[in-house]
Amino acid sequence: RAEPLVLGIETSCDETGIGIVRGRTLLSNTIASSMDEHARYGGVVPEVAARAHLEALQPAIEAAVAEAGITLADLDAVAVTSGPGLAGALMVGIGAAKALAVSLDKPLYAVNHLVGHIAADILTGEEVQYPTVALLVSGGHTSLLLVRDLVSDVELLGETMDDAAGEAFDKIARILGLPYPGGPEIDRAAATGDPAAIRFPRGMSRASDMAEHRYDFSFSGLKTAVARWIEQREAAGEPVPVGDVAASFREAVVDVLVTKALDACARHDVPRLLLGGGVIANRRLREVALERAAAAGVAVRIPPLSLCTDNGAMIAALAAELIMSGRAPSTLAFGADSTLPV
């Protein structure tokens, strides 16, 4: 089968991503982020994100097309994230994708954002093997998946019951008086602290959680524990050791993410772990994942960060795989599904 030329549109959160691929080859990956506009709120504001997508989409499409050295008429298909994500933000991308597909008379593929993250790995140019376990951690999701086949067999093993891991970083940063987004700030502050200084709780890890929530995550209890610890220090008139709090908090998040991911590898007898999502930028997460995976005989794959954070190329890559596997396009009747299952 010929390698399809696909343009992918990603607007599930605060990144307006347009990517173009030819089969498994990345041609362009343009990102416009409204992150700065959310900074003063300390988190992504859905309405603000949707409005920003509307303004950013057209210029992003033009930039991606120019960078890829193609014209829109060359495209074989258009792809778009239909969920999960922020409904209003998704709708803007879906509207644009439908308009593009209809005006160009090209087939349209609605794809799942999480499966898109998994597809990003294909664009690294290295040989991709399945089955693999995938750990996807960002400001919007924390999911553990078992991928037996990218286009036909992706199983959600578990996900967060409350905050996403990135959201937890952002909230703790705020408590510590650090700016948004909090992940990089905590990472920096943690470099000066002792990860063993304070033993913060590992959510969903008690024996009683293991039957039903073995692969699920919870970070709200951790957030409360950190806030309470800081309050007690302040009430006692003692200074808050920001480095130690950041390092100990980061350690708790990293520990539970890596422990559950490798547990999934072991129990499903899968010697591969794929990491994705913006939190993968975390230095300690990479370090601990690589260290413990090596000890467990698990090979870790970490695509470049531009493919780990939300982007349009992964959406185009997934659609290209669907096309090459013979999947029929979507009808134009689909909408945004903020809780779309894999």
Which residues are part of a known binding site?
113, 117, 136-140, 170, 183, 187, 282, 310
Q: At what angle do helices 165-175 and 242-267 cross, to 10 degrees?
A: 170
* Token pair belonging to 39: 């900074």
Give the one entry of ligand KG4, Zn ion, none that residue 309 binds, where binding means its C-beta sits below a cut-off of 5 to 8 angstroms depending on kind. Answer: ligand KG4
| Contact partner, 183, from ligand KG4, Zn ion, none, Cβ < 5-8 Å per class | ligand KG4
3-state secondary structure of 88: helix
Contact between 215 and ligand KG4 per CB under 6 A: no
Q: Which is nearer to ligand KG4, 65 or 307 (CB)?
A: 307
Our CB check for Zn ion shows the closer of 112 and 138 to be 138
How many Å from the N-terminal Cα to the C-terminal Cα in the chain? 26
User: What is the per-residue binding string for ligand KG4 in 139-158, x denoting contact by CB under 6 A?
Assistant: xx------------------
Six token digits for residue 21: 């691929």
Would you say 83 or 203 has its CB closer to Zn ion? Answer: 83
Find residue 32's DSSP bridge partners.
16
User: What are the φ/ψ torsions at residue 256 (nearest 5 degrees)?
Assistant: -70, -35
Which of ligand KG4, Zn ion, none does residue 182 bind (CB under 5 to 8 Å by kind)?
Answer: ligand KG4
Q: Which amino acid appears at position 295 of this protein? A: A
State the binding string over 4-23 for ligand KG4 (x if CB under 6 A, else -).
Answer: ---------xx---------
CB of 57 to ligand KG4, least distance (A): 17
Q: How many amino acids of this chain bind ligand KG4 (CB under 6 A)? A: 21
Q: Which residue of 187, 216, 251, 321 would you call a contact of ligand KG4, by CB under 6 A? A: 187
**Taking CB within 5 to 8 Å according to partner kind, which of ligand KG4, Zn ion, none is near residue 107?**
none
> CA 67 → CA 27, 70, 119, 134, distances in Å?
7, 8, 21, 30
Please state the separation of Cα 311 from the chain's center in Å.
9
Binding residues for Fe cation: 113, 117, 310
Paired tokens of 108: 């349209």
Q: Out of 128, 279, 298, 307, which residue is the one contacting ligand KG4 (CB under 6 A)? A: 279
Rounded CA separation 145/132 (Å): 8
Helix (H, G, I), strand (E, B) or coil at 33: strand
Binds ligand KG4 (CB under 6 A): choice among 83, 93, 107, 182: 182
- Using alpha carbons, list the distances in angstroms from residue 13 to 9, 98, 260, 278, 286: 12, 19, 26, 12, 24
Residue 42 makes contact with ligand KG4 by CB under 6 A: no
From the list 332, 322, 318, the residue with the least C-alpha distance to 101 is: 332
Q: Which residues in this chain contact ligand KG4 in the complex, by CB under 6 A?
A: 13-14, 138-140, 166-167, 169-170, 181-184, 187, 277-279, 281-282, 309-310
